[in-house]
Amino acid sequence: DPPPPYVSTTPTIPPPRPHGVARPPFPLELPSIAALKSQRVILASASPRRKQILSQLFPKVEIIPSTFAEDLPKSLGGFDYVLQTAVAKCREVYGREIDNVEAERERGEVGVVIAADTIVMSAAGQILEKPRSEAQHVAVLKSLRDESRIGSEMNPGAGIAVGGAGAGWHKVYTALAIMRPMTTAMDPGYVLTTHVEETSVKFDPDITDDLIVAYVKTREGADKAGGYGMQGLGSLLVERIEGSWDNVVGMPLRATLVLIEKILVDEQEEL
């Protein structure tokens, strides 16, 4: 297939597994997962990477992408920007599906709606989302490499400081928002819980312009925040990370399970 365009509303779908690949592990036998077995688990995202990660918990996850414009002002700052975007995505899909009588009749009641949003923040504090062109893609990756190079020159041999702050390290934030309907008629009728996961990433300061250009031409990072995919060839650009690896991919699985368990506790405790 041709490489994905830089501006497209059509999600890229990974190819099917080849014949003969070993079966996946048996599902986790946890009360929180069993409680949702007969209900709809909805992922409010078209990301094939998020679907793949979440499918480890829920093999029958339902994909309903959000139509939220994702146009909040960057002046909010990275933490609030990514969190408010994830919540808006979750609310939009939840509001659309909670009264969808036809879907309820065919697929059951809504159990949970899970939304996520990921951004990359440069060491200088700039929010980096998906590149809009090949030239911008190259420029973004070079800037992350150059920040890492400057950090290494300022602190030769230094690692990362306590709390994930260090010269030349950029940050990846993924916000999770999960909603479920309440079983009682209490206002507002739903429960919402959120979390923001943070991972620090340091590019290899010695990667060449040729490698960056060659990577951009693969288009692997064309649809990813920050312009690189940690789970693929983009790992060639990365020297070290501090924090959750799958957070950089876009769906921190441990944090997702913790939120699901939290949102399924007794309603009176939540209130």
Side-chain-side CA neighbours of 140 within 13 Å: the count stands at 25
Joined together, the tokens standing for residue 113 give 């709606």
Q: How many helices (H) and strands (E) does the chain have?
A: 9, 7
Side-chain-side CA neighbours of 39 within 13 Å: the count stands at 18
Q: Among 1, 71, 80, 117, which one carries the catalytic annotation? A: 117
Beta-sheet pairing, 190-203 with 238-242: antiparallel
Joined together, the tokens standing for residue 125 give 């504090």
CA gap 35, 22 in Å, rounded? 28
204 among known catalytic residues: no
Hey, is 195 helix, strand or coil?
strand
Active site residues: 117
